[in-house]
Structure 1
Amino acid sequence: MKLLTERQFLTFSVLIISREPEVQVQFVRALSGLVSGLDTVSNPQDDSKLLALYDLIILDVNTCQPHEITQIALCFEGEILLLLNENELKSDFVQGRYYLLPPLNSQQIQQAVKSALQRLIETQKYTVQTQVLNRYHQTTIVGNSDKTKFLKQQIMQYAPSKAPILIEGEAGTGKELVARAIHEASGRVGPFVVVNCADIHSDSLATERLFHHGGSLRLANHGTLFLDGIENISADFQYILIQLLEGRTVQSQGGSSSYLIDVRLISASTKGMLNIVNENGFCRELYERLSVLKMNVSPLRDRLSDLRELFPYLTRQLCKQLSLPVPTWLNEYDFFQEKYNWPGNIREVINLIERCLIINKSPNDYWHEYMMQPSQYASKVMISVSHHSEIPEIQPFGSQTPMRGYPSDWSLREIEKSHIQKVVDFYHGNKSAAARQLGISRKTLDRKYKEWQSESD
């Protein structure tokens, strides 16, 4: 994460609130020349117009009354750096804010102020990005099956709590959607921040991603941190999370000040975490802390009746995203009554609808034409070929007639590689666009290409 330069710090204004002259003098000496505006007051004021002139308030809690602190917090939209005594650390007001404990020196004060201002900038950037991205993220849980009704009930029941939640379910069932719905229903004022644990390959990267300036923990302050693929984290990273859940305190860069985090933690896994724990593949203590509340998102095969609402809903959403008119076949779905298990879950349904919209063919016609006809070469693995008008044709050895689908003797790894390469080719080598279509991150796609390259070397 790129840090602010000394020149950039000169664009900020700081207000010091303390009734102790010695404290005012100490902070003024430490910060003179570091920021552009530096003022001191003895009496806390809740004048929003006055406070709006500053980016950071340094508040001496020891010399303020509780109601004065509350009024400032309500009026001020910037960062607040607190000067505390140890017996005040458990106060609700301290949660999610930088703080300093005496005795202090100039270096500690400067570093704490830099950390607070750095977070202010990164939070503002992330807020703008989140407002844009949230237009494309849905939080509506669609369906009226008994399992979906129970899931909706759990979301409303768990949302008000701050307790960590563990969500389990197969890939493509919508675990992130459930986590977003919980966050939205919780009323938390901070953002919803996603960390894909499968993309974190080292403890140093984990530390950078979560704890450094602009890291996920600071960005998610007063909001929700969603750890997707929690089963992928290393043993050392598991210990880091235990310490965080235990103390909810993060050291600023250089360790000169501490930062209390107010974050709702939601983790998700495609595997049964308790089984991994019993096999000594995951720390039991961390599992117990992460799973104070547990949820399971059922696979689509266990709630097929939801398709009656899902198909029209997803079709309309995809039409908006693709700037396409709503098709005439919006409600012409009868194939969901077939006994097909949808191994790709909701993600497979989305891929099917998107294909049909692009090639202008109703799902009924597509289903019966491409999926329901038996073939002697048919593979038992269902492959997503979104954005392709036909399933790939493969020329079997010794045959003049191309077959439709992948050979049945191909491994899943071979099928995955072939499909990914076809999607990348479709986007003329644009891996970012291909990754979005495949539902994976660009880093994951690059990693797969590196693995294939190393295998061929």
Structure 2
Amino acid sequence: MTTLVKPLTERQYQTFSVLVISHQTETQMQLQQALSGHVSRLDTVTTPESMMHSSQLLALYDLIIFDTRACQQHELNHIVSFFEGEILLILSENELKSEIVQGRYYLLYPMTDHQIQQAAKCALQRLIETQKYTALAQDLQKYHQTTIVGASEKTKQLKQQIKQYASSKAPVLIEGEAGTGKELAARAIHEASGRVGPFVVVNCSKLSSDSATAELLCNHGGSLRLANHGTLFLDGAENISADFQHILVQLLEGRTIQSVSGNSSYLIDVRLISASTKGMLNAVMENTFSRELYERLSVLKMNISPLRERPADLRELFPYLTGRLCNKLSLPVPEWQNEYDFEQGTYEWPGNIREVRNLIERCLLLNKSPNDYWQEYMLQQSRHASKVVIAVSHHSEIPEFQTIGTSSRRGYPSDWSLRETEKAHIQQVVDFFDGNKSAAARQLGISRKTLDRKYKE
């Protein structure tokens, strides 16, 4: 078999639960002997009758080892129809050509303990692969990255935190403004952790109390079961409903989840990473979030700084995002890929990295460099409003002044080209500030470097 995800370690193998269906006492004993200590739970029943009409009971298990001598064909088909885990068959040689064998792992009599262990491992490995690629299929339209780009001190500290947190199983709480890359950091932690299961995202703000519980507990198709042996990312964790909070406390306490009926529970191996934009402690203070759950989710904490506090990251971030977007949009890489100087040091990027990405995508589609796009935009803004700083001396009268861009004739001649208009406006602003190009650049909404380049042109 071709392994599509990392092979299971012995310790990871021990987190699965197995059900044996066989009426042969000797077979039951051999399977118990071979798998005891290798899985977290191993139960046996003599016939499938007690399991045939209970999807809740079957949901307790990741693997069913099925002795075909213990049941009729229709009984096996019935269980297969609603069990979403893996099935390992025990066959006699005359059953090898049966339809039930197709696509399934199997064992033949007589079998050794080593053969049982290897077959079980292969079946569980495929279960993890199925979960992982189901998660990828659900999120197919999003092209994810796990690379943290930037060389500022704050970004270096973030990368170091990711390395430190990855080796732990403790829950992580990531806080930061919208667009700073909280999900990106969570994915980076998951990738560096070596967990064999998938990274599954749950948008807490889109789940009502009832739907959240049902969605997370529906057998192997639910987000919680899908994330088994992987990572569950709770986006917008401050919006978690009361019912959902209770489930998570139960999960964090005993690594178990109660069945829908409440009569049984099953073990689950999921690492929780939560993200909040508003700040979880505020929700606790407002009594909308359980303090107990907050303390459990925030064993490890991470705060991602906004882009305005790490503008040096634009030097690497801008060409990196340009290259990714060109690949996504099937466009050639533009010559302006490394023009990252626009508004550097003056604009605060309230939308953070998301705003940078949106600007680059807009420029790619318009076939216009960000410097030119930004300059035209700011030129339009300056026509509607001007900002003037006045220093008032000890005199009681405020000196008269003429607002930038105003005269007896409003605007520039209609027959001027955009280049002529731009040149005249830049010169007018520089003259107004008595040749102080730094002040003029701030007024124009461009960097000093861009202003110097415009002068050379």
Whether TM exceeds 0.5 here: the answer is yes
Name which of 206, 220, 231 aligns with 1:224.
Answer: 231
- Cα distance in 2, alignment partners of residues 166 and 178 from structure 1: 11
Q: Which residue of 2 aligns with 1:440?
A: none
Q: Which residue of 1 aligns with 2:257?
A: 250
Relative to structure 1, the CA distance from residue 18 to residue 127 in structure 2 (aligned partners, 3 Å threshold; closer, same or farther) is farther
| Contact 1:55–1:78 (8 Å) recurs in 2 | no
Q: Is structure 2 residue 186 aligned with structure 1 residue 192?
A: no
Q: Is structure 2 residue 46 aligned with structure 1 residue 26?
A: yes
Relative to structure 1, the CA distance from residue 128 to residue 339 in structure 2 (aligned partners, 3 Å threshold; closer, same or farther) is closer
Output one character per residue of 1:382-418: Cα deviation in whole Å (capped at 9) or x when no partner.
xxxxxxxxxxxxxxxxxxx9xxxxxxxxxxxxxxxxx
Name which of 183, 207, 211 aligns with 1:205.
Answer: 211
State the TM-score, normalized to the length of structure 2: 0.61
1:77-88 correspondence to structure 2 within 5 Å:
77=124
Output one character per residue of 1:56-94: Cα deviation in whole Å (capped at 9) or x when no partner.
899xxxxx98x88864543334789xxxxxxxxxxxxxx
| Contact 2:319–2:337 (8 Å) recurs in 1 | yes
1:166 match: secondary structure: strand
| Contact 2:23–2:47 (8 Å) recurs in 1 | no
Amino acid at match of 1:20: T
1:357-372 correspondence to structure 2 within 5 Å:
357-371=364-378
| Contact 2:174–2:301 (8 Å) recurs in 1 | yes
- Cα distance in 1, alignment partners of residues 338 and 307 from structure 2: 19
- Structure number with larger C-alpha Rg: 2
State the TM-score, normalized to the length of structure 1: 0.61
- Cα distance in 2, alignment partners of residues 295 and 216 from structure 1: 24
- Cα distance in 2, alignment partners of residues 176 and 39 from structure 1: 37
1:329 match: secondary structure: helix
- Cα distance in 2, alignment partners of residues 344 and 154 from structure 1: 24
Amino acid at match of 2:209: D
Q: Which residue of 1 aligns with 2:134?
A: 126
1:33-72 correspondence to structure 2 within 5 Å:
33-36=74-77, 55=104, 71-72=118-119
Name which of 272, 286, 290 aligns with 2:293.
Answer: 286
Relative to structure 1, the CA distance from residue 184 to residue 39 in structure 2 (aligned partners, 3 Å threshold; closer, same or farther) is closer
1:35 match: secondary structure: helix
Q: Which residue of 1 aligns with 2:58?
A: none
Q: Which residue of 1 aligns with 2:331?
A: 324
Question: Unaligned regions of 5+ residues in structure 2, if any?
Answer: 1-18, 29-43, 51-70, 81-86, 92-100, 388-410, 412-457
| Contact 1:147–1:298 (8 Å) recurs in 2 | yes
Q: Aligned-pair distance for 1:277?
A: 1.4
Q: Which residue of 2 aligns with 1:334?
A: 341
- Cα distance in 1, alignment partners of residues 136 and 338 from structure 2: 37
Q: Aligned pair count?
A: 315
Q: Which residue of 2 aligns with 1:75?
A: 122
Name which of 350, 356, 359 aligns with 2:357.
Answer: 350
1:267-278 correspondence to structure 2 within 5 Å:
267-278=274-285
Output one character per residue of 1:128-174: Cα deviation in whole Å (capped at 9) or x when no partner.
6169567x111100000000000000001101111100000000000
Cα root mean square deviation, aligned? 3.8
1:92-107 correspondence to structure 2 within 5 Å:
none
Question: Unaligned regions of 5+ residues in structure 1, if any?
Answer: 1-13, 43-51, 59-63, 81-95, 97-119, 381-400, 402-457
| Contact 1:231–1:271 (8 Å) recurs in 2 | yes
Amino acid at match of 1:205: S
Output one character per residue of 1:7-50: Cα deviation in whole Å (capped at 9) or x when no partner.
xxxxxxx97478725967722555533214999869xxxxxxxx
Relative to structure 1, the CA distance from residue 78 to residue 331 in structure 2 (aligned partners, 3 Å threshold; closer, same or farther) is closer
Q: Which residue of 2 aligns with 1:419?
A: none
Q: Aligned-pair distance for 1:367?
A: 1.0
1:259 match: secondary structure: strand
- Cα distance in 2, alignment partners of residues 18 and 181 from structure 1: 47
Q: Aligned-pair distance for 1:271?
A: 1.5
- Cα distance in 1, alignment partners of residues 386 and 137 from structure 2: 42
Identical-residue share of aligned pairs (%): 64
Relative to structure 1, the CA distance from residue 130 to residue 379 in structure 2 (aligned partners, 3 Å threshold; closer, same or farther) is farther
1:143 match: secondary structure: coil
Q: Which residue of 2 aligns with 1:441?
A: none
2:47 match: secondary structure: helix
Q: Aligned-pair distance for 1:247?
A: 2.1
- Cα distance in 1, alignment partners of residues 326 and 187 from structure 2: 22
Output one character per residue of 1:292-338: Cα deviation in whole Å (capped at 9) or x when no partner.
00000100000000001000000000001111110011112321424
Q: Aligned-pair distance for 1:203?
A: 1.4
